[in-house]
Amino acid sequence: MMSKLYEQIYKRKSVRKYSDRTLDNETKKKIDSAISTLKLFNGKECTLKFKIQTYKEFVNDKKLNFITKKMVIKSPYYISILRNKTEDAYINAGYCGEELVLRLKEIGLDTCWVGAAKVFDRGQDYIIGIAFGYSDTYIDVNRRRLNIEDYYEGDTDLIDIVKALREAPSAKNSQPARLKFKDKKIVLYNNNKNNRILKDLNVIDMGIALRHLTLALEENNLNYKVKKEAEEFIIEVFNESE
Ligand SMILES: Cc1cc2nc3c(=O)[nH]c(=O)nc-3n(C[C@H](O)[C@H](O)[C@H](O)COP(=O)(O)O)c2cc1C
């Protein structure tokens, strides 16, 4: 049986239309508890800050003007991810943020990453926002994605990992994450490095893809170690007993 969190990879979809239903105290507690258990990709405690605000607070915080307000999704709540001296802050924003997205989905809340809110000065620590709340639309999980073969090279019996990676959300659906399978190693790299417009957002996308990948490894009872080498991630995989 699939774990509850892993299942959410296949249920999540970016939602852009929300009801105005508010969060009750029990739900707020669940969100705080989800945030407190997040880990960085190197296994250390997550030092990023997740600031939760209502839509009004979010757009009024740095005074978004009329045009910029139109670019952000109108959801009852927003999470701002703040770097707070975290190493590899953009990768980890994706990595920890996506786990939070999946945990929110687990408790019935939908989300949408909002890169558009980055264009305006929201303070030095600000990395990205996530719109969230209760969906007001039918969620069709059919996705616009490349074919499964387009995401990897090499032979693998870990096709579940490629499938989980394929489900990952990405800025403008650019799907930059690719895999190379080699012996017991997986190399994760950015296939969209030359895109200057999506540059920072694609780094967040890589962190998101990495979390989908490691969740798939965990689901298959595999241990792993993630190393960052230059712009690539080398994931060493071993069985529980090794
Ligand atoms: C880093 C990042 C930034 C994004 N920024 C926006 C945005 O500003 N506005 C928006 O409507 N969707 C945004 N999205 C959502 C993507 O468009 C969406 O993930 C992609 O189209 C795939 O669809 P899916 O998430 O429903 O699978 C963003 C996604 C990511 C990962």
All structural domains of the chain with their residue ranges: 4-133, 148-238
Look at residue 118 in the predicted model and tell me its pLDDT. Answer: 60
Ligand 1 centroid, distance to 50 Cα (angstroms): 19
The burial class, CB within 10 Å (0-12 / 13-18 / 19+), for 146 is exposed
Ligand 1 centroid, distance to 215 Cα (angstroms): 20
Tell me, yes or no, if the two domains 4-133 and 148-238 fold the same way: yes
Ligand 1 centroid, distance to 23 Cα (angstroms): 23
Q: Is the CB of 212 under 6 A from ligand 1?
A: no
Look at residue 67 in the predicted model and tell me its pLDDT. Answer: 65
Give me the CATH topology for the region 4-133.
NADH Oxidase (3.40.109)
Ligand 1 centroid, distance to 116 Cα (angstroms): 9
Instruction: Give the position, in ligand 1's atom list, of the atom nearest the Cα of 116.
Output: 8
Measured CA to CA, the distance from residue 19 to residue 32 in angstroms comes to 22
The fourth-level CATH superfamily of domain 148-238 is putative nitroreductase (tm1586), domain 2 (3.40.109.30)
Look at residue 60 in the predicted model and tell me its pLDDT. Answer: 81
Measured CA to CA, the distance from residue 143 to residue 89 in angstroms comes to 28
Task: Using 50 as the pLDDT threshold, list the residues of the chain that sit under it.
Answer: none
Cβ 19 vs Cβ 92: under 8 Å: no
